[in-house]
Amino acid sequence: MSTSIYVGNLPFSVSEEDVRNHFASYGEVFNVKFIMDRETGRFRGFGFVEMDEAAAKAAIEALDGKDFNGRTLRVNEANQKKPARPRRDY
DNA sequence: AATGAGCGA
């Protein structure tokens, strides 16, 4: 498996490719997923990156709190949500 | 459809 990394505070200018490129410098990136607003379909400003555990830690140490395209990047291990998003059924 | 703290489709 891979380690899920939470990447937040992303500028609306970047794409998965940019992030993947950035993270790829610290290890093999298995996958990059940007969270799009399910209502509008627009970029919500954060995403998740899957990397090897060692690579993930390296990337977090290297990129967390750093600047990315003009915004302070937030990088941490994702943990809070594993299954489908909790949502009330009205 | 829209924008700025956030942990997801």
> What is the pLDDT at residue A66?
96
- Asked whether the beta carbons of A58 and A32 are under 8 A apart, the reply is no
> What is the pLDDT at residue A80?
76
Q: How far is CA A54 from the centre of its chain?
A: 16
**Domains annotated on chain A, with CATH:** 2-77 (3.30.70.330)
Q: Which H/E stretch holds residue A72?
A: strand A71-72
Answer yes or no: pTM beyond 0.85. yes
Q: Which residue is nearest to nucleotide B5 (CA to C1')?
A: A9
Nearest nucleotide over every DNA/RNA strand to the A79 CA, judged by C1' = B7
Average pLDDT of adjacent 10-residue blocks, chain A of 90 residues: 95 96 96 93 95 96 96 93 59
> What is the pLDDT at residue A1?
86
Residues of A 19-78 whose CB lies less than 7 Å from any atom of strand B: 33, 35-46, 48, 71, 76-78
